[in-house]
Chain A
Amino acid sequence: MTKTKSRKQLPKSQTGIRGLDEITGGGLPKGRPTLICGGAGCGKTLLAMEFLVRGATQFNEPGVFMAFEETTEDLTKNVKSLGFDLKDLIARKKIALEFVYLGDSKVEASGEFNLDGLFIRLGHAIDSIGAKRVVLDTVESLFFSLSSPHILRAELRRLFRWLKEKGVTAIITGERGDGRLTRQGLEEYVSDCVIVLDHRVSDQVSSRRLRVVKYRGSTHGTNEYPFLIDEDGISVLPITSLGLQQTAPISRIPSGVPRLDAMLGGAGYFRGSGVLVSGTAGTGKTSLAVLFAVAACSRGERALYFCFEESPSQIIRNMRSIGLDLEKWVKKGLLQFQANRPSSAGLEMHVTTIAKAIKSFKPQVVIIDPLTSFLIGNNEREIKGMVMQLMDLLKMNNCTTLFTSLILSGAVPEHSQIHIASLIDTWLLLRDIEVGGERNRGMYILKSRGMAHSNQIREFLLTDHGVELRDVYVGPSGVLTGSARLAQEAQEQASQSSRQQEVERRQIELELMRKTLEVQIAAMRAEFAVQEVGLLKIIGQEQAQEAQLVQERVDMGLSRKADKIPNKRKGSSK
């Protein structure tokens, strides 16, 4: 933490528990006690223990665990299942476990006493390992084994003050009481930070939640946050604290179907966007989802596939039929399946699980198949909340997510999804087209934010080499698909070839015409030549006759003693 920040905020002690540090803005108040309360089995002890173990292993802050309820052996065993090796930490003087045995019956007090014994034991444990963190679990048990509650109250007050003076960051756990946070009202003494854990069941599904009730001198998330206890300890999911601050990438990610990319402005989905593929049963939603995942894997990216209705091996088997080998990618570690029944946990728990998986696997592509299996009763609003949380989470991690969603046949597709439609960036609709005694698949883009996209319905074909999108024919009888489309295609092809033949035929005809014309021209030329010769001959004769006549006239004149006319021509003067 920087200096400027610590001036504004209290110094904090990081818990190392996923999510909790985000909610509390950096951890628990350093050097002060924090109260963690909740009902039985809500995870108080575990949270406290994880705080210590993480402190010892990650932040080099040794810790003392003072147990009033569980023995050292039990505790060691219990947390071993979460991967914490207490024995080793104790041997390395990172953690000290102090079990306080309170006996079975109440101890009567004969006169005044104080809890110096407890102080000394705790102080000794703290000093022996140089502890910076302390857990008292559950200090309230003292009230059940020692009489004189008024002395105990005063002593607890002194204890918390003493812990503060020691400068240790402490967690005090307390059982939830009637109408109060704890049975003995510890919240009145520990007033710096109070965290309430809750474990509730609704619709037969249990969910754990955490809420920071109070954090003196610091801002904190005030909502109830779901949390998860699994083999890695606790994870809190601060979903509702996520904002809409994520930047929108402009790069694109191919959908796995080239023709679909073309429909989406030529480049596929936006990276980090949410894609919804909805359709009635058997329209190819899963196939489209798997193709998207496989496309990512073949680019060397990681894809995380959450299946809620089919087992991974079932999907792997089924996808072989369209020529997709998923096993290869699973083996390469690029594709990971996470199969869960939707009813196995509450919605938040699923979000938490998904968040955890995303954090550890760091996928570029996430598939949720199908979203609608979460619909139990009338929980659409909760689902919307869940999708909103998921979208925020996924966008923050820059994952492109594809949700599939089942539409009940007969329902208006736009209506059944109304609640999540506004959260989705690209929405593809797969639908049955029944025509000519066939049932074919059609696909169109209902919306796609921020990109030019095709408004065409395409026929969606599942082939042994993936998905193909084909143009459909819109004729007087409606949209043509399947064999009707094939017939139409054949017809089109036939008419195209006949058109071509016609052209060829006309070209030949033209050639013929030209040739005929040329022959005619030649014939006419020949005729002309003949006539020309004839005519020239006649012209020559005519001219000769004319000359003859002139000569005769001259000769006549001569004979009649006419005037002498100079005559060039030496006629036949006899």
Chain B
Amino acid sequence: MKPDPAKGKLDTYILRLYVSGQTPSSMTALANLKKICEEYLEGRYQIQVVDLLKNPQLAGGDQILAVPTLVRRLPEPIRKIIGDLSNTELVLIGLDLVPRK
């Protein structure tokens, strides 16, 4: 089942990716995220990358433990996906872009 196109159009996705420096997994995660967004959320997404090495105090706010972590700030509710986002299916489920089983 496809998401409701009418509702989907209204939602703008604010996605925050927490990384720690320029590690390979951070790079991979960012690349994977961009790819998924382009494919499923074209024109209605915004990606913020937070480097915890530069801003360690930000880790507490979103309760970040694992790196990389993708946080869906909007639309509510907040969702978290950890890992380098190489498993696209899990990312889509995590972002509610495909319905959960």
A and B from one assembly?
yes
Q: Give A residues with C-beta under 8 Å from B.
A: 98, 100-103, 107-118, 120-121, 123-124, 142, 146
Contact status B66-A100, CB under 8 Å = no
Main SS of the interface on chain A?
A: mixed
The CA of A103 and the CA of B28, in the complex, are separated in Å by 26
Which residue on chain A has the smallest CB distance to residue B60? A121
Give the chain B neighbours of A142 by CB distance below 8 A.
65
The CA of A117 and the CA of B61, in the complex, are separated in Å by 11
Tell whether A98 pairs with B81 under 8 Å between CB atoms, given A113-B66, A114-B25, A117-B18: no
Partner of A110, one of B20, B53, B94: B94
Tell whether A112 pairs with B83 under 8 Å between CB atoms, given A98-B60, A120-B53: yes
Question: Which one of A102, A110, A111, A115 has the greatest number of beta carbons of chain B within 10 Å?
Answer: A110
User: What are 21 A-B interface contacts by the 8 Å CB criterion?
Assistant: A100-B63, A103-B63, A107-B66, A108-B90, A108-B94, A109-B90, A110-B84, A110-B85, A111-B28, A111-B32, A111-B85, A111-B87, A113-B66, A113-B67, A113-B69, A114-B25, A114-B67, A115-B66, A120-B53, A121-B59, A146-B65
Question: Which one of A102, A112, A116 has the greatest number of beta carbons of chain B within 10 Å?
Answer: A116
Interface assignment of B30: CB less than 8 Å from any CB of chain A: no
Which residue on chain B has the smallest CB distance to residue A109? B83
Contact status B66-A110, CB under 8 Å = no
Q: Give B residues with C-beta under 8 Å from A.
A: 18, 20, 25, 28-29, 32, 52-53, 56-57, 59-60, 63-69, 80-88, 90-91, 93-94
Which residue on chain B has the smallest CB distance to residue A151? B66
Which residue on chain B has the smallest CB distance to residue A68? B65
The CA of A172 and the CA of B94, in the complex, are separated in Å by 32
Tell whether A146 pairs with B66 under 8 Å between CB atoms, given A117-B18, A121-B56, A123-B56: yes
Give the chain B neighbours of A121 by CB distance below 8 A.
56, 59-60, 64-65
Partner of A109, one of B52, B53, B56, B82: B82
Contact status B82-A113, CB under 8 Å = yes
Contact status A124-B25, CB under 8 Å = no
Contact status A114-B66, CB under 8 Å = yes
The CA of A116 and the CA of B59, in the complex, are separated in Å by 10
Which residue on chain B has the smallest CB distance to residue A119? B20
The CA of A142 and the CA of B63, in the complex, are separated in Å by 13
Partner of B59, one of A107, A111, A114, A117: A117
Contact status B84-A115, CB under 8 Å = no
Give the chain A neighbours of B84 by CB distance below 8 A.
110-113
Which residue on chain A has the smallest CB distance to residue B19? A116
The CA of A107 and the CA of B83, in the complex, are separated in Å by 10
The CA of A115 and the CA of B67, in the complex, are separated in Å by 6
The CA of A111 and the CA of B65, in the complex, are separated in Å by 15
Give the chain A neighbours of B94 by CB distance below 8 A.
108, 110
Partner of A112, one of B63, B86, B93: B86
Contact status B82-A116, CB under 8 Å = no
Contact status B20-A117, CB under 8 Å = yes
Give the chain B neighbours of A112 by CB distance below 8 A.
25, 28, 83-84, 86
Give the chain A neighbours of B81 by CB distance below 8 A.
107-108, 110
The CA of A98 and the CA of B63, in the complex, are separated in Å by 10
Contact status A113-B53, CB under 8 Å = no
Which residue on chain B has the smallest CB distance to residue A124? B56
Give the chain B neighbours of A116 by CB distance below 8 A.
20, 52, 66-67
Q: Closest CB-CB distance, A436 to chain B, in whole Å?
A: 87
The CA of A117 and the CA of B32, in the complex, are separated in Å by 20
Knowing that A113-B83, A118-B65 touch, tell me 19 more A-B residue pairs with CB under 8 angstroms.
A103-B63, A103-B80, A107-B82, A108-B94, A109-B66, A109-B82, A111-B25, A111-B28, A111-B32, A111-B85, A112-B86, A113-B67, A114-B66, A116-B20, A116-B52, A117-B69, A124-B59, A146-B65, A146-B66
